[in-house]
Chains A and B, each alone.
Chain A
Amino acid sequence: MEERPCAVLLKFPGTNCDAETSRALEEVGFVTEVLPVSALKPEKLVGVSLVVLSGGFSYGDYVMSGRIASLVTEQKIGKTLGDFRDNGGYILGICNGFQILTQLDLLPSGSLVENASGRFQCQWVTLKNLAPKSPFLTHLPEEFEFPIAHAEGRLVTKEAAEAAGYISGGVAALTYRDDVNGSFERIAGLQDESGRVFGLMPHPERFLHRQDHYDPDWKGTGEDESRGSGYYFFRSLHESITKSN
């Protein structure tokens, strides 16, 4: 029997999307463990293929979103996540998890700040897949939809030219088709140079099934019409990990 890859979902006080992300991962074939940050130790990542930082409002978004979670993670396990990546591990950050990954310097330099609208935005967005070879995106088409729900999702870089470089350099894996929140270059998701660390503001775990879509007549874009695009996001990842193991 094929061994199922193990995913650990780190849970901080205020993380609130771990259960549905765990369900999504199990649906595509992962075995999952939700790990409270209080129990986080380097040895907890032994035998693990994927670390996931789920969405939510870790530590109430105090100071700025993701800041305290990144500091506490560093305090507890130092540079272990970097070593984990260097040893072939995959890391995924969704929404607040993306904000934490940027703070941990595991992704190209950038910060996620208040939306240009100054408001919390909860809506569906169309995304452009700029990295079809990414382990996270192989089963997704050139354009697809995911929902977003964030107040601080505007990706900025110290200089605007840096963000333009992310597009030309291939580390901007996802962009919004429309200007949703004022993100530089409309960037919605970033990957690191290795391709194994990936962060995105939209929520793939909220679109596993066709009926999750706002349009009851929506037709699936993948081989199984009953599946939503989020399913194919996680399936891409599962396939990449099982192939690389």
Chain B
Amino acid sequence: MRETYEISDRFIEAGDANHLLYEPLSSGLTFRRTRRYELEFEGVRPPMEAFVRKTLFDEISQEFHEGEEPALKGFTFFLDYGMKPGALDLEKETILRYYSGIKDPGFTLKDLKIRQRIYLFGGKAEESGRFVRDICNAAIHQWTVTQANA
């Protein structure tokens, strides 16, 4: 079975997207980051979701979203990026090592995919190429760009 979760921050406002780029754009885009987790697991869902909430989510400062629907609205496009299969993903390894130390997790975690998601607001969708170029590293990252009307 596969489940997808997206975690967004409650207190972090949209920032100036030029901070993500080597050369500023003139179109005044802003951005917000979220994190997306895809879990492949066997067994029952409640202990898996309890694991996700305890390990990957902070109920004070974050919001928890289930499913494929984007957590934020009103964006022009968003960029998802993460480590390529085979590239060392230290964050994933750390989470899996913690999972493997749990005595009776109540489910079997088969795979975990972590994606950083950057939502861009304002500007034009055509500007996404600049963000891909400056944020992603083709040697280690995989990425997708999703337009608002996609």
Contacts and interface: CB of A to CB of B under 8 A. Distances in A.
Contacts of B59: 158
A47 interface: no
A59 B90 CA distance: 9
A156 B54 CA distance: 19
- Could you tell me the dominant secondary structure of chain B's interface residues? mixed
Nearest to B37: A63
Contacts of B19: 118
A71 B98 contact: yes
Interface string B4-22: 0000011110010001000
Contact of B101 (A59, A64, A75): A75
Contacts of A71: 54-55, 98
B127 interface: no
Given A71-B98, A72-B98, A110 B60 contact: yes
Contact of B91 (A63, A75, A111): A63
Contact of A158 (B15, B60, B90, B102): B60
B113 to A, nearest CB: 15
A71 B51 CA distance: 11
A63 B52 CA distance: 11
Contacts of B98: 68, 71-72, 75
A60 B94 contact: yes
Given A67-B55, A72-B98, A109 B11 contact: no
With most chain A CB atoms within 10 A of its CB, the pick from B9, B15, B61 is B61
Interface of B: 9-12, 15, 19, 54-56, 58-61, 90-91, 94-95, 98, 101-102
Give 6 closest A-B pairs by Cβ, nearest first. Answer: A111-B61, A111-B60, A62-B91, A113-B61, A62-B94, A156-B11
23 contacts: A59-B94, A60-B94, A62-B90, A62-B95, A63-B91, A63-B95, A64-B58, A67-B58, A68-B95, A71-B55, A71-B98, A75-B102, A110-B60, A111-B58, A111-B60, A113-B9, A113-B61, A118-B12, A118-B15, A118-B19, A156-B60, A157-B60, A158-B60
